[in-house]
Amino acid sequence: MIRSTNLGYPRIGARRELKRALEAHWAGELTAAALGGVADELVSAGLATQRQAGIDIIPVNDFSLYDHVLDATALLGAVPDRFHWDAQAAQVDLSTYFAMARGVQRPGLDAPALEMTKWFDTNYHYLVPEFVADQRLRLASDKPLRALAAGQAAGVEARVVLLGPLSYLLLGKAKVDGLDPLGHHLDAVLEVYAEVVRQLSRQGARWIQFDEPCLVQDRTPPELAALRQSYAALDRARGGDTRFVVATYFGDVDAAYEALTGLPVEGIALDFVRGARNLAKVRAAWPRGKTLIAGVVDGRNVWISDLRARLHLLEELTGTVGPDHLQVAPSCSLLHVPMDLKLERGLDAEVRPWLAFARQKLDEVVVLTRALNEGAGAVAKALDGNQEAMERRRASHRLHDPAVAERVTSLRPRDFERRNPYGVRRAAQAQRLGLPPLPTTTIGSFPQTAEVRQLRQQWRSEELSDAAYTEAVEAEIRRTVGIQEEIGLDMLVHGEFERNDMVEYFGEQLDGFLFTRHGWVQSYGSRYVKPPILYGTVRRPSPMTVRWSAFAQGCSRRPVKGMLTGPVTILQWSFVRDDQSRERTCQEIALAIRDEVCDLERAGIAAIQIDEPALREGLPLRKREWAEYLRWATAAFRLSAAGVEDRTQIHTHMCYGEFADIIDAISSLDADVISIENARSGAELLRVFREHGYDKGIGPGVYDIHSPRVPSVGEMAGLLRDTLAVLQAEHVWVNPDCGLKTRGWPETTAALRNMVAAAQAVRAELG
Ligand code: GLN
Ligand code: ZN
């Protein structure tokens, strides 16, 4: 009998109940007990949904109040000292838990939160475990036990999900130089995990799922040895009725396959959607008697599966592993897709049947399982409906615009190159722009005040006419341009008052994108995002930013930068069609941006910034795939930028300071100026640029926009001098780390005034 299962379900609630409860709790308006009540309801709703859908084995403990990695930190009692947690306490209490998540500042306790970083290549962020030398670990949370009890009470066959010990250690960060968490702390971590396993076994756990997604990244032999050691230890701790699953997802396990399939565990989850090579591994050798949890329904995207093709794959897998040893599953936790398509009203009627959110993906898993057990005839209606939707999707003209296809296929190498090399462009731009040395500018956005947000809202809800809205936005722009002139900035911006989310702003004006109302996905904690759905050919029906930029330029004699979001970032922050390559889709976006760039140039805009904050996060999980990604991603950027004349200056911006391993790619963007985050990194990062021989404009941020703090003139001048010790003055620009939209006006103008004064002071020293 083949069984259906799942690896994890969205936690946030159909109506974002979790967010509301958390925020009320943090505001002191909801007690811990009441918050726990909301959490319990969400958990039991999730269990009921999965059971009603017909899922046989259902994950528990996949729910989290904030983050599942933080849950593991609490489980291990790995609370950093700065949170003053009472190490005698039986459990990590809720306020310590949230302190680690969000930081605390109250009399007697001032501790910044744990660092946050991306969960593999998703848009989910986890809290990074911290390791010190004398780490004392012990079981400090009964959450898995309570989760199991809830599953048992609901009468489902529950599988307790834990972050695996190897991944936990690899996802953390040593806080002391030279400490290797795996070498130092594996035994201690395993002791606690063993205790959890013992207790779960005693409580009658039939399944425990250890998530080890780090196995889809490059792993060293000592790391694989640690994997073996871990599961040998956990095997010793369990009682006879508890079965183990090690779950991998987000890619191929490649060289880890042998170690993985040799573990003393009953089940192994493999991703057959993003792990194209996993199938060959299973074909070549599957350990007899082990259960394969086959991830065949895409947990990372929003499209329906091609059920007939998936069925075909599953039939082969059944043949290989045997019907008693196969479970059908999504490719990963469904945390990364929106809850339920049924919540959507008014979605494009043609596209809707192509979509499957978490709830619909459960149905797919169940249909596939039934087809295997009872024959395709038992689910003929579902399979036929799916087939029809697939065919309609394939045939839709909205996926195949001949004009765009023609444009893409006739691209020539020179479409990806500026007309002349940087040296020639530099002279033409210098002449046109007439900027002083160390020119000052900003990254684009200015404070998004409540009034500005209200303005956009009123316009969207048609309370405000187009004309009134335009007038109001123009007034904001005029005022902001005036303020920048008065502060003495050299290159101005219009302020981005017409946009909130940058990808949404462009997506809404391009063909090929769809927006949901309830399609929320957890980004971190109580922050959710609603990514656009890029379903079809991307086309730009008309200019998107020209009127605002042209208006802003009309307000000043100084150059005003045009402000666009780049093709890679738009791609990266959307759910993207899966019926053609990402490279191809990115080219289509690039062509649309290119048209906008050329229109801005025609409107007299002398400098145009194309933001690519998401370039780095698109890097594949396997190093050997980096080069191919960077090839097409940088080509798409150049395609978007290269249509302009020499004298038009192309800027780009990236809000991070990690360039060492992608500096060649950054250089190949061939942008005339790049602004980067640097206020917290200092000269170390800039050495990467110097050693590479980077010879174009570069603006290392001189102040951190993440805090309202106003840095002094001296501080920023100091940073600038440090920069000039590493980079040649003729290349250096002066700007903040990132956009100012989250800041208030008073601190913004104060900081920019100081920044301009710092630039002037250092300029004078140049002689
Ligand atoms: N131009 C954008 C802004 O200033 C850039 C945002 C970003 O890098 N994420 O807001
Ligand atoms: Zn930024």
Q: In testing the pocket of ligand 1, which one of 123, 480, 492, 496 has its CB within 8 Å of the most ligand atoms?
A: 496
Q: How far apart are CA 89 and CA 78, in angstroms?
A: 13
Q: In testing the pocket of ligand 1, which one of 500, 548, 653 has its CB within 8 Å of the most ligand atoms?
A: 653
* Cβ–Cβ under 8 Å, residues 630 and 618: no
Q: How far apart are CA 544 and CA 222, in angstroms?
A: 53
pLDDT of residue 642: 98
pLDDT of residue 403: 97
Measured in Å, residue 653 CA sits from the centre of ligand 2 at 6
Residue nearest to atom 7 of ligand 1 (CA): 613
Measured in Å, residue 614 CA sits from the centre of ligand 1 at 11
Q: In testing the pocket of ligand 1, which one of 442, 445, 494, 560 has its CB within 8 Å of the most ligand atoms?
A: 445
445 CA closest ligand 1 atom index: 4
Residue nearest to atom 3 of ligand 1 (CA): 739
Considering only CA atoms, which of 234, 84, 89 is closest in space to residue 168? Answer: 234
Cα 571 to Cα 302, 534, 637: the distances in Å are 14, 8, 12
Q: To 5 degrees, how large is the angle CA 101–CA 106–CA 110?
A: 60
Provide the residue type at 216 as one letter.
Answer: V
pLDDT of residue 87: 83
Task: Provide the β-strand partners of residue 319.
Answer: none
Q: In testing the pocket of ligand 1, which one of 611, 612, 654, 674 has its CB within 8 Å of the most ligand atoms?
A: 611
pLDDT of residue 187: 97
| Domains along the sequence of the chain with CATH | 3-83+114-397 (3.20.20.210), 423-449+486-765 (3.20.20.210)
Q: Give the tens place of pLDDT for each residue, 529-566.
A: 999 999 999 999 999 999 999 999 999 999 999 999 99
User: Active-site residue 706, yes or no?
Assistant: yes
**Pairing between β-strand 673-676 and β-strand 697-700 as defined by DSSP bridges:** parallel
Measured in Å, residue 741 CA sits from the centre of ligand 1 at 8
pTM of the entire structure? Answer: 0.95
Residues of the chain with pLDDT under 70: none
Residue nearest to atom 10 of ligand 1 (CA): 739
pLDDT of residue 99: 96
Q: How far apart are CA 476 and CA 493, in angstroms?
A: 12
Ligand 1, pocket residues at CB < 6 Å: 443-445, 496, 563, 611, 613, 653, 655, 738-739, 741
Measured in Å, residue 383 CA sits from the centre of ligand 2 at 46
- Nearest-ligand number for the alpha carbon of 565: 1
Please, what sign has the CA dihedral across residues 515, 520, 521, 523? positive
Q: What is the dihedral of CA 339, 213, 142, 61, to 10 degrees?
A: 20
Measured in Å, residue 511 CA sits from the centre of ligand 1 at 23
Measured in Å, residue 691 CA sits from the centre of ligand 2 at 24
- Nearest-ligand number for the alpha carbon of 562: 1
For residue 391 the two structure tokens come to 């065919």
**CB neighbour burial string for 262-282, b if at least 16 within 10 angstroms, e if fewer:** ebebebbbbbbbbbeebbebb
Measured in Å, residue 87 CA sits from the centre of ligand 1 at 42
Q: Give the tens place of pLDDT for each residue, 600-625.
A: 999 999 999 999 999 999 999 999 99
- Nearest-ligand number for the alpha carbon of 676: 2
Q: Give the tens place of pLDDT for each residue, 161-188.
A: 999 999 999 999 999 989 999 999 999 9
Q: Got the DSSP string for 16-78?
A: -HHHHHHHHHHTTSS-HHHHHHHHHHHHHHHHHHHHHHT-SEEEES---SS-HHHHHHHHTT-
443 CA closest ligand 1 atom index: 4
- Nearest-ligand number for the alpha carbon of 679: 2
- Nearest-ligand number for the alpha carbon of 444: 1
Measured in Å, residue 183 CA sits from the centre of ligand 2 at 36
pLDDT of residue 685: 87
Residue nearest to atom 4 of ligand 1 (CA): 739
Residues less than 5 Å from ion ligand 2, measured at CB: 613, 655, 738
Helix, strand, coil percent content, the chain, rounded in steps of 5: 50, 15, 35
Place of tokens 């033409």: 428
Residue nearest to atom 9 of ligand 1 (CA): 613
Residue nearest to atom 1 of ligand 1 (CA): 444
Residue 676's SS3 state is: strand
341 CB-near residues (< 8 Å, 6+ apart): 347, 352, 355, 356, 357, 359, 360
**Pairing between β-strand 173-174 and β-strand 207-211 as defined by DSSP bridges:** unpaired
Which of 84, 400, 706, 731 is catalytic? The answer is: 706
Considering only CA atoms, which of 693, 568, 591, 604 is closest in space to residue 642? Answer: 591
How many C-beta atoms surround the C-beta of residue 439 within 10 A? 20
pLDDT of residue 321: 97
pLDDT of residue 680: 79
Place of tokens 């050919």: 537
